[in-house]
Amino acid sequence: MLGEYGEIDKYGVIGYPISHSRSPVIHRLFALQTGHPIQYDLYKVAPFELATCIRMYQTQGIKGLNVTVPHKSKVAELVDHLSDRAAKAGAVNTLVIKHDEIYGDNTDGSGLVQDLVHNLQLHVKGCNILILGAGGATRGILHPLLGLQPARIMIANRTIEKAQALVEAAPEGAAVAAVAACRFDDVPTDRPWHLVINATSAGLKGQAPPYPAAAINSETICYDLSYGLTPTPFSLWAHEHGAGKSVMGWGMLVEQAADSFEIWRGVRPNTASVLKQLKISAT
Ligand code: ATR
């Protein structure tokens, strides 16, 4: 279980800022559960030092890193190899570091899919999905969501051009959903939106944009990719406007971490117990 020279394998997460990250807690719980005695640390890396730091960690023998805000897109340009899903997302959240090469993958989308399908038991096939926001987070989840065969996906964004660019890059063909773009105040309400996903970064900045209230009703599940110790602004908004259910992204957080752990260690931890422990420790 130990590394080549008997030392504990080192992993971590790079971001800026980074002190808020829950990844060390999650990976320590995974390590305990699986009997893989890994070390997992926080690395605060400013954008200007990103490339230098990654190569330095490589020479120090760090085996893998998670990548978080604001580095996910930039890291995709720095690695030697990209997985297919990371290439489609144009973003990396998991690095596998070998002495001669660095491989970039992205488990954000698969983490969301695991949470929706297995933890929340949602039947996404045939659903109408509204995604709010058209930044890096939306790019990461769009293809994995299309793989669940919803009937349609609407991307609503403050800046319509960014939503349109994502639609243009989406795959075409009879097997996939209709994907379209609109502004927040143009969200069609002729059919119900079964799942509304907040992928904006507004809440992180303490902002509350005019989310489209007419898009939700008691049948709608609102999912915020953000999470917090207290309800996020979006989940409060969803409750206030009568959503059937409002969920924060804790499940996605743990599931994407489990997928990263599996890439590194070859074993996927049980996520249910970790999610429970994390939520208890967060309250
Ligand atoms: P990226 O993820 O590409 O770094 P970002 O600046 O963090 O981008 O923004 C992510 C998303 O949140 C974008 O869709 C952004 O909308 P714009 O494309 O119009 O900038 C959205 N967003 C951030 N703050 C917002 C706000 N106050 N109101 C509405 N949307 C907001």
The pLDDT of 209-234, averaged and rounded, is 93
CATH number listed for the domain at residues 10-106+256-270: 3.40.50.10860
Dihedral, CA of residue 213, residue 218, residue 220 and residue 226, to nearest 10: 70
- Compute φ and ψ for 36, nearest 5 degrees: -100, 105
Contact 253, 227 (CB under 8 A): yes
132: pLDDT strictly greater than 70: yes
Domain ranges of the chain: 10-106+256-270, 109-251
Mean per-residue pLDDT over the chain, rounded: 93
Q: pLDDT band at residue 283, thresholds of 50, 70 and 90?
A: very low
Residue 111 in contact with ligand 1 by CB distance below 6 A: no
> What confidence score (pLDDT) does residue 175 get?
56
Ligand 1, pocket-test mutation among 69, 72, 201, most atoms within 8 A of CB: 201
> What confidence score (pLDDT) does residue 208 get?
80
Active site residue 72: yes
> What confidence score (pLDDT) does residue 205 get?
81
Identical fold between 10-106+256-270 and 109-251: yes
pTM (2 d.p.): 0.93
Q: pLDDT band at residue 278, thresholds of 50, 70 and 90?
A: confident
Question: Range with the lowest mean pLDDT among 125-134, 228-237, 259-268?
Answer: 228-237
Strands 128-132 and 152-156: parallel
Task: Determine which helix (DSSP H) or strand (DSSP E) holds 43, and give its type and residue range.
Answer: strand 39-44
Q: pLDDT band at residue 122, thresholds of 50, 70 and 90?
A: very high
In the chain, the amino acid numbered 9 is D
- Is domain 109-251 in CATH 3.40.50.720, yes or no? yes
Q: Mapping DSSP to helix (H, G, I), strand (E, B) and coil, where does residue 85 land?
A: helix
Distance (Å) from CA 201 to ligand 1 centroid: 5
